[in-house]
Amino acid sequence: MTAKVKKGREELRRTLSQEEFHVTQEAGTERAFTGRYHDCKTPGTYHCVVCGEPLFSSATKYDSGTGWPSFYAPVDQQAVATKEDRGLWMRRTEVLCSACDAHLGHVFPDGPEPTGLRYCMNSAALKLRPAEPEDGEPG
């Protein structure tokens, strides 16, 4: 992992939408089935909306039926960090961008193989960079 990315709150307020700021900086959650990526099938890599670090690949994305983009693994274990979240009168594991500490969502132990994990992310915390078409494929 690279060095920590630090941006001031005012810079973040200028560069992020209100929802992106609320989700990534205030550990907010978008409503289920409303995020731009919950039903997205476009191949590519999902990056942190705050710092641009790659976080998840569309190859590990699956339909969990929860209304949020779900992945069974990050692009690299070092891409995300976790910490205990005891908010909302329950115990969960919060997922953060390891480069800038942006709140991304939560991880649960009810995902598919090969990991058995469900990284339940907020679309507002992600920015999809579509994959380049392979040679010979339509663009």
Q: What is the DSSP string of 6-64?
A: ---HHHHHHHS-HHHHHHHHH---PPTT-STTTT----EEEEETTT--EEEEGGGEE--
Q: How does pLDDT run across 26-82, given as a tens digit for each residue?
A: 999 999 999 999 999 999 999 999 999 999 999 999 999 999 999 999 999 999 999
Task: Give yes or no for residue 137 having a pLDDT over 60.
Answer: no
* 119: in domain: yes
* 4: in domain: no
Domains of the chain: total = 1
* 49: in domain: yes
Which domain, by its residues, includes 108?
9-130
**73 phi-psi bin (left φ>0, alpha ψ -120 to 50, beta other):** beta
* 139: in domain: no
* 19: in domain: yes
pTM (2 decimals)? Answer: 0.89
Per-residue pLDDT band at 25 (split at 50, 70, 90): very high
Q: Which residues are catalytic?
A: 120
